[in-house]
Structure formats: C-alpha cells, structure tokens
A and B are shown apart, each in its own frame.
Chain A
Amino acid sequence: MADPILSLSSVSKSFGPIEVLHGVDFELRPGEIHALIGENGAGKSTTMKILGGYIDQTAGEVLWQGQPLRFAHSDEAEARGIIMIHQEFNLAEHLGVDQNVFLGRELKRGWRLDHAAMRARTAELLAQLDCPVDPSARVSDISVPSKQMVEIAKALSRDLKVLIMDEPTAVLTERDCEVLFRQVERLRDEGVAVLYTSHKLSEVKRICDRVTVLRDGAMVRSSKVSEITEDEMAEAMVGRELSGLYPAKALPRAEVMLEVENLSVPGMVQGASLKLRRGEVLGIGGLVGSGRTELAEAIAGLRACSGTVRLEGKDLPAAEPHVAMTRGLAYLTEDRKGAGLLLEKTLRENLTLPLLDRFGGLLIDRKAEEAALDKAIADFAIRVPERNMAVGNLSGGNQQKLLLAKTLLSDPQVILIDEPTRGIDIGTKQQIYRLIADLAAEGRAIVVISSEMPELIGLASRVLVMHAGRVVGELAQDEINEGAIVRLAMGLKDSEGEAA
C-alpha cells in the first residue's frame, strides 16, 4: 500500500465557540478512491475544505507526504496538485468552455492568448470524458451534467495529484454517472488520490476502495469498502439501526384529482398526458433534461404551455401559479436555493411568503405567522439553533424540511415534489419518505420526480418515464424496477413489453 499523500492528524476545527470537527484522523493514498460519508452537518464539507486548503484547522496538522503543511491560500494547494470540485460549480457562466478550462492559466503565444491551442486541448480533454460539448460553447448554454464534465476537464488540465469531489453525482443522471465513474477509476489507476463524498451509498460501494464515516464531527469508522455493507455504512452514519427506509405504500382511491392532456412546453415537453388519483404517489423518472421538471412547472402554472390541465374536473388556466395554489395544487422545486427559499431571510418570512394574504388583512398578523412557524417546526421536526436566523445558515436537510412546510402551508390536495431528497442525509430522507406516505394516506395526490431510482421504486405505486420531452412509458406496481426505468429513460422503446 502506498504511503499517504495527504492526511489529517487529530485535526479539530471551531467556528466561533462551536467546535464542528473533533480530532479527526484521515489518510488519503495515491491510487485510491476514498469515500467520505456522513449526515448533513457531520463535518464532511469542513474536512474537505481543510484538505483543499480553503480553510485552516484550529488544532492538529495537515500532512503532505508526511510533512506538516499549512496553506496560506487555496492557490497553494492547487499548485501542489490538490484540486477540489465544489458542489456549486465554479464556472464563469458567460465565458466559453475552453476559456473556463484555462481560466487564470491561459496558454499564450508571446503576449497574445493562444486560442487555437486552448481550444484544441479542451477538445482533447472533453473527448477523454466522452463529453460531446463544443469547446467554444458558452457555459451558460450547456446542461448541468456537461458543466460537471467541464469542471472535471478543468481539473484534468492540471498536474493532478489529489482530486476532492463534493457530491459530484448529485446533479448527474445514471448514464453520466457511469462516464464519471470510468474517469475517476482511470485517474485512480494513474495514481491520483481521489476523495469522494456522496449520499448515495450504492455508488460508494460501486467505485470506492476505502470509506470513512463521520458522525457529529468525529470519525466513527474507516475501513475497506469490501469489508462493509451499505446497511452498515448507513447505520454508522446515523448511529442507530435503520429499518425500513421506505414506508408502506398507500392504495390509490378511485377519484381522479389531476388530469393532464397533451401538454406541451415549446422545446421542452411534447404532448404529455397523465392522470393522478386521490391517495396515489405517482413517480416520474427520466434523465435530467428529459422535461420532467418543465412538465411539473407547467402544470403548476410556472411555465407557458399548451394543452389542458384539469384539477378535480375543472380546467386550470395556464401560467397562473397563484390560481393553481389557491385551487389546491402545490409544486416543490428541485432548486431549493435558487427558486425555493430566500436564503438571507428568516424562517418565518420564508414560510408564509406564498400565503401572506391568509395572515391578517391589510396588515400582516405577526403573531399568526409565529404560530405557523411553531407548528411547522414541530410538524416537520426542523432543527433550528436560533429562531431568527437566516435560512441560508440552516443545513440542507432542514432547509428542505422548511421548503416542504412552505409548500404544504396552503394545505394542497395535489402536490408535485421535484427531487424530494436532493443533497440531504439519510436520516432526513427517511423522515421525508414517511411524510410523503402519510400525505398520500390522508388522501392527497402526489407526484414525485426523482433521479434516484430507489426513491421511485420505494415510494411510487406507478411510474411514468420521460425521454426527450415525451412520456415514453408507464410502469405499474410489479413492473417498477431499475432496469425497466433506465431502458425507458434511455429511449429504448422495445423494453415496454418485455421489461424485467
């Protein structure tokens, strides 16, 4: 086994009076993919940022090839070949792909930029990554998975020794994940040390060699992946036994709550139709960019569209989100930070934002708002260190619970939930799954859009799969399995009859 290239020796980190990392030991070796897992708030991000040279530890040492090291700046870490890929991409949206790959390290010929060489080198790197993006395309025009690939190309363009990836697959579809895995494995074989975080334990099992589990800022387990099962990983993360991640499915009733006919969003969705019954959880699968989100947004009145949407038998006007809400339809966005919550505002202001007209008449009734917040905190088990804090300072899981509370405040009967558990820990996931099942059992009709197959399989009693803007298949009860969903999502039509 190679000597560790980058390691932590009893490293602690405090923010103000609060210690978030307690004496963590951690070793990263060349030619190894090392998974770092833990619930939200367990200290994964802090550990990664210390390793990547973004923040300093409060106590303990960072060792580079056995020698103590302190980075004055993350540039120094990069100069040594330590590259961190953030969850929120670090790309200049208005620049081209090639300009981004070489940002800050532009190739020059004399005093002029060597555009041709940079473009050619970028094309080479992207080809290695199986990424069909034009090097001269603007970053703002390319898809989210492609952006991820550009980030990786950027890392590859340097002399890479340590690659730190913060949940790289959170925004990728299964197929893109496979491409990513192949690249990461290739880098490992070339001797790069890879640190990898993910909430998807199956991925960890699939590509990682070693796994370290953090809980509440301390290392609770570190072992070879071959010696630990997914269940054991989950239990180490949560600190208790997790039984039955998915609750029992409710039985749909007869009454049709939502009927969509021939709905089209120009360039995004073509002629989609669906029916949703009271008490039903309908899953929508498909690749990122297949039109799932656009379909849901169009139903909720957030996008201009053609076709008909009937809610409880009555037509719903297009592009009128307020009407949809007052008639009892709610949409929970996949973009929690960009479209869901006002990060610098308080919990109270976020919770009541869509429904202010129900809190007082001319003037807002502050007391009623506070009471609603009390109820939301209790009902959704939101952990709030400080009641008047900005929502941006909450952990991802608690933000998601607040967003759920906000969406459900209008007591909707039809609920469209887009990526219910993106980027949140397994304990919170379990809570949210229970909540979804309870809502269905109460007789509400629910659509769950998800890129995570187990989520669709575990929650939905029926799954629609979208491909390139069309609903290409429907799977009921026993037909729902990963293979069938993936085949449909990839646009393989012949799978319909012979699935499973």
Chain B
Amino acid sequence: MAHAETKTRRRGGSIDLKVIGPIVALIVLVLIGVALNPNFLSYANITNVLARSAFIGIIAVGMTFVITAGGLDLSVGSMAAFVAGLAILTMNVLTDVWGVGLPVILVGVALALVAGLIAGLINGLLITRVGIEAFIVTLGTMGIYRSLITWLADGGTLSLGFEMRELYRPVYYGGIAGISWPIIAFAVIAILGEVVMRHTAFGRHCAAIGSNEKVARYSSIAVLKVRLATYVLLGLLVGFAVVMYVPRLGSASASTGLLWELEAIAAVIIGGTLLKGGFGRVWGTVVGVLILSLIGNILNLTDFVSPYLNGAIQGAVIILAVVLQRKTGTDR
C-alpha cells in the first residue's frame, strides 16, 4: 500500500503542475509588465485590457463548450462582423422611423442575440443533421458572413447614427463601482460557463461526447442534440459579444472581428482544453484570453519589441501551450 501512496502523490503533483501552468504564465506576464512599465498596473490600463478582452472572452467561453464536445467553429469572427452590421443597419433604419430612443437600442440588442443564435443553429444543423465536418461547415460560413458584411457595407464602413451612438455608448464605456459593463458581462458569463461545464449534466455530456462519441451514445446521451446545443450557445454568445462591441466604435466594416476565431480558439487551447475534445475548463479559457491580450498590451506599452510582432509572440505562446499539454498528456 505504501507503493500505491507514493504513486498517488506523484500523480497528484503532476496534475497540479498542469492545472496551474496557465496561471503561472499569466503571473509571469504580469511581472514582466510591471517591470517594463510602471503604468502597467494602473486602473486605466487594467480596465482597458479587460474591457477589450471581453469580446474575445465571451466568445471563447462558448468556444470552450464546442471544442470540449469535439467540435470547432471557425466562423465566429465573421459571424460577429455580420451580426454587428445587421444590428447597425436595423437601428439606423428604425431611427428614421421611431426617432432616437431606447426602443431602437432594445430592438438592436434583441436582433443581435437572435441573429447570433440563428447563425449558430445553422452551423449546428449542418454539422449534426447533414453530417458535414465542423471544420468544413464553419470554414464555409466564415467566408459567407465575411462576404455578406463586406457587401452590406459596400466595401466601406457601416456606422451608427451620431445621436444613437451617444445613447448606446454607456453600454461599453459605463459601468458600476468603477467596473465597466463589458468586464462585468465577461465575468458573469465566465462564472456561469465554469459552473455549467463543471457541475451540470450538459457540461459532463460535452466532455463525454468529445472523449468518445460512441460511449456517449451507448450511455443514452442525445449526442446530436448536445452537439447542436454547443453551436447554438456559441452563436448566442457571439450575438452577446456584438451587443457589447457595437457601442465601442459604433461601426462595423469588412475588417471587424478579423481573426477573432483564431484568438478565441487559441485562448481555449492555452487554457488547457484539449483540441481533440473530451476535457475542457472555462476558467482556463479566461486565463488564456488574458494571456493573449496582455502580450499585446505589454508590447504596446514598451518600446522593447515592435507591436507589429504581437502576432508572432502570440503564435509562439500557442504552440508552446500545446507542446506542454502533450507532455502531460502522455503522463496520464
């Protein structure tokens, strides 16, 4: 039995390391940031970083469920741009009819949520009912939404009317107790996501399907429904991210949400969720989002390395995270 105990302790040790890996990386980044620029920990900078992370973060929480269930969604960036364009166009039209006012914003918000949900539903149905690979389906819809927003904006930019923009602005720039709305929204969604992933049947079913779909099916889990639900949830969260995004710039163009899908997927993977599915953790994704945006922030605050190299450093971090994941993977 003594043998077994030493074995347990060793195993526990290695799992601990795997769990805290992303957190250690985040702490190291913060220390580097503090060392390079005293303003790094200022209220303004922290608020700025967190608020900008909120869009990717909200989407990445949904992406965690999709990837955990063994799926993938490449379309979220284009989807966000298209939904934003749709919402802005609708609000502009309604402003002409109803005048500037809260009802216009409420319709815009509702439209963004419903459009996101429907877009997710389309992805999910094509994947689960028609049986096409998630990669192919979402690669296709990625192109479609990107093209549609470019067409809607006629190659340029769709802007919300000036007065409407003033009215909608507080949703991004306002807040309570000094914490802005996007940060609060991100935090609430992350906490809900973590609870759902870890403590509900839905989260457990996602992990089971990603781990071995056949076992899940033989355990009388409604595999297709759960899978469909992950894409619908992600679409809804994309819609929600758009609700927070539109008041920031008040516009959408062909370059809105560009590469968001990759940042969201990268955050999920850095956080320790397995790309092949079967295991996911939402808090890890949150850490992953913060790591990615801190890298960009630190490069912007210092003259040390050109901010143009942001993508290169993020890319290196992503590859490193997967290498570390694989090492611990063979341990198990």
A is bound by B: yes
Contact assessment for B211 and A342 in the assembled complex, using a CB-CB cutoff below 8 Å: yes
User: With the chains together, A349 CA to B3 CA distance in Å?
Assistant: 26
User: With the chains together, A345 CA to B280 CA distance in Å?
Assistant: 12
Sorting the interface of chain B by its residue count into under 10, 10 to 19, 20 to 34 or 35 or more gives: 20 to 34
A315 sits at the interface (CB 8 A):
no
- Residues of chain A lying within 8 A (CB to CB) of residue B200: 362-364
Contact assessment for B205 and A17 in the assembled complex, using a CB-CB cutoff below 8 Å: no
- Residues of chain A lying within 8 A (CB to CB) of residue B219: 353-354, 406
- Residues of chain A lying within 8 A (CB to CB) of residue B3: 17-18
Interface residues of B in 157-212 (CB under 8 A from A): 195, 199-201, 204-205, 207-208, 211-212
Contact assessment for A354 and B220 in the assembled complex, using a CB-CB cutoff below 8 Å: yes
A331 vs chain B, min Cβ distance (A): 8
User: With the chains together, A386 CA to B12 CA distance in Å?
Assistant: 11
A224 sits at the interface (CB 8 A):
no
A104 sits at the interface (CB 8 A):
no
B44 sits at the interface (CB 8 A):
no
A364 vs chain B, min Cβ distance (A): 5
A372 sits at the interface (CB 8 A):
no
User: With the chains together, A341 CA to B218 CA distance in Å?
Assistant: 9
Asked, given contacts A342-B215, A363-B199, A364-B204, whether A353 binds B221 with beta carbons under 8 Å apart, the answer is yes
Interface residues of A in 343-364 (CB under 8 A from B): 343-345, 349, 353-354, 356-357, 362-364
Contact assessment for B220 and A342 in the assembled complex, using a CB-CB cutoff below 8 Å: no
User: With the chains together, A16 CA to B3 CA distance in Å?
Assistant: 9
- Residues of chain A lying within 8 A (CB to CB) of residue B199: 363-364, 366
B193 vs chain A, min Cβ distance (A): 14
Contact assessment for A302 and B218 in the assembled complex, using a CB-CB cutoff below 8 Å: yes
User: With the chains together, A385 CA to B3 CA distance in Å?
Assistant: 10
A407 vs chain B, min Cβ distance (A): 10
Asked, given contacts A356-B205, A386-B8, whether A339 binds B215 with beta carbons under 8 Å apart, the answer is yes
B326 sits at the interface (CB 8 A):
no
B8 vs chain A, min Cβ distance (A): 5
B306 sits at the interface (CB 8 A):
no
B216 vs chain A, min Cβ distance (A): 8
B10, B195, B201, B218: most-surrounded residue (chain A CB, <10 A):
B218
- Residues of chain B lying within 8 A (CB to CB) of residue A333: 218
- Residues of chain A lying within 8 A (CB to CB) of residue B215: 338-342, 353
User: With the chains together, A331 CA to B5 CA distance in Å?
Assistant: 36
Contact assessment for B214 and A338 in the assembled complex, using a CB-CB cutoff below 8 Å: yes
Asked, given contacts A17-B7, A18-B7, A386-B4, whether A344 binds B211 with beta carbons under 8 Å apart, the answer is yes
Main secondary structure of the interface of B (DSSP, over half): helix
Contact assessment for A340 and B211 in the assembled complex, using a CB-CB cutoff below 8 Å: no
**Which residue in chain B gives the minimum CB-CB distance to A385?**
B4
Contact assessment for A16 and B7 in the assembled complex, using a CB-CB cutoff below 8 Å: yes
A390 sits at the interface (CB 8 A):
yes
- Residues of chain B lying within 8 A (CB to CB) of residue A335: 214
Contact assessment for B205 and A345 in the assembled complex, using a CB-CB cutoff below 8 Å: no
B112 vs chain A, min Cβ distance (A): 27
A43 sits at the interface (CB 8 A):
no
User: With the chains together, A302 CA to B220 CA distance in Å?
Assistant: 8
- Residues of chain B lying within 8 A (CB to CB) of residue A325: 220
- Residues of chain B lying within 8 A (CB to CB) of residue A366: 199
Contact assessment for A344 and B6 in the assembled complex, using a CB-CB cutoff below 8 Å: no
User: With the chains together, A345 CA to B218 CA distance in Å?
Assistant: 16
- Residues of chain A lying within 8 A (CB to CB) of residue B4: 18, 385-386
**Which residue in chain A gives the minimum CB-CB distance to B209?**
A342
A321 sits at the interface (CB 8 A):
yes
User: With the chains together, A116 CA to B332 CA distance in Å?
Assistant: 44
**Which residue in chain A gives the minimum CB-CB distance to B15?**
A388
B288 vs chain A, min Cβ distance (A): 22
Residue interface bits B267-292, CB-to-A below 8 A is 1, else 0? 00000000000110000000000000
Interface residues of B in 2-33 (CB under 8 A from A): 3-4, 6-8, 10-11
Residue interface bits B229-268, CB-to-A below 8 A is 1, else 0? 0000000000000000000000000000000000000000
A422 vs chain B, min Cβ distance (A): 16
- Residues of chain B lying within 8 A (CB to CB) of residue A353: 204, 208, 215-216, 219, 221
User: With the chains together, A233 CA to B204 CA distance in Å?
Assistant: 45
Q: Name 6 A/B residue pairs within 8 A (Cβ), A-sorted.
A: A18-B3, A325-B220, A339-B215, A342-B278, A343-B212, A386-B8
Q: A343-B212, A345-B207 are in contact. List 11 more A-B contacts (CB 8 A).
A: A17-B6, A18-B7, A302-B218, A335-B214, A339-B212, A342-B211, A345-B208, A349-B207, A353-B221, A363-B199, A363-B200
